[in-house]
Structure 1
Amino acid sequence: SSPLTRRVPPFLQVRSHRRSVHRASIPYGDKPGQLLDVWRRSALPSGPAPVLIFVPGGAWVVGSRALQGHALMAHLVELGWVCVS
C-alpha cells in the first residue's frame, strides 16, 4: 500500500475500495434488499478468473452488503479475481 493509504483510517478507505465495483445493485429477486454487486477489473480478463461469492454476515435475517468485505474484495480484484457480494 502507498504511504498515503497507510495514514488514512480504514473506515475512510472504503471509498477507494468501491472503485473496484464494476456493477452495483443488480437485482436477483423480487424483494427490495435482494441486490448484489459485481467486483472486477474494468478490463475483462483474457481467460477464466477465480470467483469469490461473498455472503455478508447477518444470519440470513439482517445485514447488508454495504461496507462488509470491501478491503478483501478490492484486494482480490487487484489480483485478477471476480467477486460477487
Structure 2
Amino acid sequence: MDEQIMRGRVYGAEHDDPGPRPGHVYRELVGGPLDGLLLDVTDWTGEELARGATLPTELNSFGAGGRAQYGPRETDPQRWDWRGDIP
C-alpha cells in the first residue's frame, strides 16, 4: 500500500472514514508495517499505554495471522516505535 495513502489514517478504521475523530486520543505508529498510522488509545489505562500494543496485520514478515508490536518511545510517548513482528 502506498505510504502516503496510509499516513494519518487510524488503524482499524473503515476505509470511507479513515481520519481521526474529535475527542479521541491517538498514538502515532513509527516504523514497521504500520508506519504512519494512528492508534486510537482513548480508553486505555496508564498500564496499557506503558505496555504498548501487539496489532494484527497482514503487512508483516509473517503474512496472514502475523502481528506487529509497538511500544512508547522513551523520549516521546506520543509516538510508538515498532519493536518487531511475531507470528
- Range into which the TM-score falls when normalised by the shorter chain: under 0.3
- Give me the TM-score of the superposition, normalised by structure 1: 0.27
Question: Which structure's CA Rg is the greater one?
Answer: 1
RCO higher in 1 or 2 (8 Å CA, sep ≥ 6)?
1
More helix by share: 1
More strand by share: 2
- Give me the TM-score of the superposition, normalised by structure 2: 0.27
